[in-house]
Structure 1
Amino acid sequence: MSRTDYFHDPAAPAPNSIKVAVSALVQDEHGRILMIRRTDNDKYSIPGGGLEAGETVAQAVAREVMEETGIEVDATELIGVFSNPDHVIAYDDGEVRQEFSLCFRANPIGGAPRTSSESKEVRWVEPAALGELDVHPSIRLRISKGLEASGDPYFT
């Protein structure tokens, strides 16, 4: 299923759903960030996806990162709650979702990078090289908040 992200766009369709999602900023021992290239919009992103019934947010983080990247992680800290109503995501099935994502810092504890049906590329990226990648502004915000040393969760 393809998607179109609208960000501060007056032509964006009105949202018709909100779904709890999780995302993870995963850094290896060298400080590189685990990034995927999404199959649905061809943008680079940190791994993440929807919370499923019967799981905790920590379980959702671990499942989503494993599904999309092959890397096993342990969620360690809340980076923030990202719920900007000016970011909507339109899917080709008619769903238009308002952003609502809980972003966590997570440590890699196993596995090996591999692609999936949701990721056409998985790679470790130096923070200084992020500017070379096509990353949506909402994901850039999550990364920048995760790299800050404030320790206080961000929220909109």
Structure 2
Amino acid sequence: MQQLKTLIHSGINIDQGTIFVRLTARAIVIKNNKILLMYTNRYEDYSLPGGGVDEGESIEQGLIRELNEETGAQQINVVKAFGLYEEYRPWYKDDFDIIHIKSYCYVCNIADEFGKAQLEHYEQQNGMTAKWVNINDAIAHNERTLANSEKQGLSILRETYLLKKIATQFFEPPY
């Protein structure tokens, strides 16, 4: 899979401390010139649907499960690999110092009809909802959050980068 970017968050020295590796899968779903994204009220940002790959799952199995759980998407078809985004962040638990997140991104097709989303408790608490969005509006929104909001999470850098990369490959300017 094509390497898109590696981000090391400020204050991280990957040569010191213990590192936990987390595999994640993220879906790129485009229909009618809109992209399916998750809006998180707590962090005021848009992100690709997806999440952690469970032990024993392939990346694609985790992608399909996460896309279904977060959005209710049905008849998910993984079309092709888009790229890998890696990041190193501070880890908030005592067992490791750093988390190395490997986000495998794939283009997917889904059925027009959605089932019921099955968000995890913390996703519900954070106010996550699936939305069809104009990609330029999502990028502009995330950039405003980066510039002005104290609520932003660490994922917004990854998500804004990925949205810009997706825009250049799948959408007409401006992006």
Report the aligned-residue RMSD.
Answer: 3.1
Partner residue in 2 for 1:106: 108
Greater share of helix? 2
Specify the code of the residue in structure 1 equivalent to 2:141.
Answer: E
User: Would you say the 8 A contact 1:17–1:97 is kept in 2?
Assistant: yes
Question: What per-residue deviation string (whole Å, max 9, x for no partner) do you get for residues 72-127 of structure 1?
Answer: 32211111111134xx1534576541221111111122424746232522211111
Specify the code of the residue in structure 2 equivalent to 1:23.
Answer: R
Q: CA deviation at 1:128?
A: 1.9
**Which has the greater radius of gyration?**
2
Partner residue in 2 for 1:127: 135
- Equivalent-residue separation in structure 1 for 2:90 and 2:11 (angstroms): 14
SS state of the match for residue 103, structure 1? strand
SS state of the match for residue 66, structure 2? helix
Cα distance, 1:126–1:76 mapped onto 2, change above 3 Å = same
Q: Gaps spanning 5+ residues in structure 2: where?
A: 1-6, 146-154, 171-175
Specify the code of the residue in structure 2 equivalent to 1:99.
Answer: I
Q: CA deviation at 1:71?
A: 1.3
- Equivalent-residue separation in structure 1 for 2:40 and 2:59 (angstroms): 21
For the pair 1:81 / 2:89, whether they are aligned, the reply is no
Q: CA deviation at 1:18?
A: 0.8
Specify the code of the residue in structure 2 equivalent to 1:22.
Answer: A
Higher mean alpha-carbon deviation, 104-113 vs 76-85, is at 104-113
Greater share of strand? 1
Partner residue in 1 for 2:158: 138
User: Would you say the 8 A contact 2:68–2:117 is kept in 1?
Assistant: no
TM-score (norm 1): 0.72
1:2-151 mapped onto 2 (5 Å cutoff) = 8-10=9-11, 16-28=19-31, 30-38=32-40, 41=43, 43-72=45-74, 73-85=76-88, 88=89, 90-91=91-92, 96-109=98-111, 110-112=113-115, 114=117, 116-117=119-120, 118=123, 120-130=128-138, 131-133=140-142, 134=145, 136-149=156-169
Q: CA deviation at 1:7?
A: 6.0
User: Would you say the 8 A contact 1:24–1:47 is kept in 2?
Assistant: yes
Q: Gaps spanning 5+ residues in structure 1: where?
A: 1-5, 151-156
User: Would you say the 8 A contact 1:113–1:122 is kept in 2?
Assistant: no
User: Would you say the 8 A contact 1:70–1:113 is kept in 2?
Assistant: yes
Specify the code of the residue in structure 2 equivalent to 1:83.
Answer: E
